[in-house]
Amino acid sequence: MVQSMTGFASRKGQGAGANWLWDLRSVNGKGLDLRLRLPDWIEGLEPLVRAELSRHLHRGNVSLSLRVARDAGDDALRVNPDALASVLASLAVVKAQADRQGVVLADASVAEVLALRGVLEQQAEGEEDTGPLRALLIEDLAPLIAAFQVSRQTEGTALAAVIAGQIETIATLTADAAVEAAARRESMAATLRDNLARVLENAEGADETRLAQELALLAVKSDVTEEIDRLTAHVAAARALLAAPGQVGRKLDFLMQEFNREANTLCSKAQSLALTRIGLDLKTVIDQMREQVQNVE
């Protein structure tokens, strides 16, 4: 099954006191180029994500972004021991001074102590254990990649249909070229015989054997049988690749170069308006097909 290098998938998830959003997309590329935008405070996440993507994807410019937000009211808090010690020491000094002066003070509650500035603080992201969150994210990455692959396969199915149609057009044009070449062959033979007769009539003492050899060489140089045979073989190879499993993009891309080479040679040897038109039509379809093949993984 042909798979396109163009694809898109997104996925939401939550757990470990956070919620997240994945965004995975790709366009065509010569190799596999991974561009990741991940939260750097989740330790060890990037190498795991990169390895997982590389295991499933082979070609394309792939961009993956991940946004992670903590659940509301679930921010990690901790007591600052230095601030607490300072507050308690200050309370002790105040209470001792009040006792000496005979002033009775109410005891401070735990909540009142925690409410004092600096005693209770939000834990920094880098100081918490992100292992559980990292594990959940890697687990959630698998269905994201699966959805992304489905997107690429869907695009690939449509792409294969377009390419298959272009292959059939090339096959039809190649058959037309064979018919035109056969018709041209008879007229060219007659033209060469007439030219040879005229040359011999107006070139006294000319070497008839040498003239015949030169005319035969011209006939060989204008023969397009090999080009048509190669185009026919390339059509068969393209059909086989389109039906083959695995990554066939590079092979199809190379085959397009061969198609283009034969079409160029056909045009240069045409010596016929009809055959030239067929050659130009071939070049147009081949160029259109080459653009589509660029998207095949």
For residues 267 and 176, is the Cβ–Cβ distance under 8 A?
no
Domain presence at residue 1:
no
- 139 shares its domain with 16: yes
Identify the CA nearest to 281 among candidates 163, 161, 174.
174
Range with lowest mean pLDDT among 4-8, 71-75, 176-180, 227-231: 71-75
159 and 288 share a domain? Answer: yes
Q: What is the pLDDT, as a whole number, of residue 73?
A: 53
Structurally, the chain folds into a number of domains equal to 3
**Does residue 143 sit in the same domain as residue 221?**
no
Question: Do residue 146 and residue 173 come from a single domain?
Answer: no
Residues 148 and 170 in one domain: no
More confident residue, 174 or 79: 174
Helix (H) or strand (E) holding 217: helix 208-221
Tokens of 126: 């880098």
CATH classification at residue 43: 3.30.230
Q: Does residue 169 fall inside a structural domain?
A: yes
Backbone angles phi, psi at 32, to 5 degrees: -100, 115
Distance CA 290, CA 85 (A): 74
Residue 208 forms part of a structural domain = yes
* Strand, helix or coil for residue 108: coil
29 lies in some domain: yes
Residues 37 and 147 in one domain: yes
Same domain flag for 52 and 69:
yes
Look at residue 62 and tell me if it is in a domain.
Answer: yes
Residues 113 and 219 in one domain: no
Q: Is residue 184 part of a domain?
A: yes
| Mean pLDDT rounded to a whole number for the chain | 85
Do residue 66 and residue 193 come from a single domain?
no
Task: Say if 2 falls within a structural domain.
Answer: no
Report the distance separating Cα 32 and Cα 57, nearest Å.
7
What's the rounded Cα separation, in Å, for the pair 191 and 184?
A: 10
In a domain, 36, yes or no: yes
Give the max Cα distance, the chain. Answer: 147
Domain that holds residue 11: 7-73+129-153
Paired residues of 61 in beta bridges: 27, 33
- Buried b or exposed e, range 215-244, using 16+ CB within 10 angstroms: beeeeeebebeebbebbbebbebbeebbee
Instruction: Say yes or no to pLDDT of 16 above 70.
Output: yes
SS3 call for 195: helix
| pLDDT band with cut points at 50, 70 and 90 for residue 233 | very high
The whole model's pTM is what?
Answer: 0.69
Query: Residue 188, class by beta-carbon neighbours within 10 Å (0-12 exposed, 13-18 middle, 19+ buried)?
Result: middle
**175 and 107 share one domain:** no
- Please answer whether residues 43 and 134 qualify as being in contact, where contact means their C-beta atoms are separated by less than 8 angstroms: yes
pLDDT tier at 17, thresholds 50, 70, 90: confident
pLDDT (tens digit, 9 = 90+) per residue, 145-189? 999 999 999 999 999 999 999 999 999 999 999 998 888 766 665
The amino acid sitting at 278 is: I
Higher pLDDT, 82 or 210: 82
C-beta atoms surrounding 102 within 10 Å: 6
Q: Are residues 21 and 52 in the same domain?
A: yes
Same domain? For 289 and 164 the reply is: yes
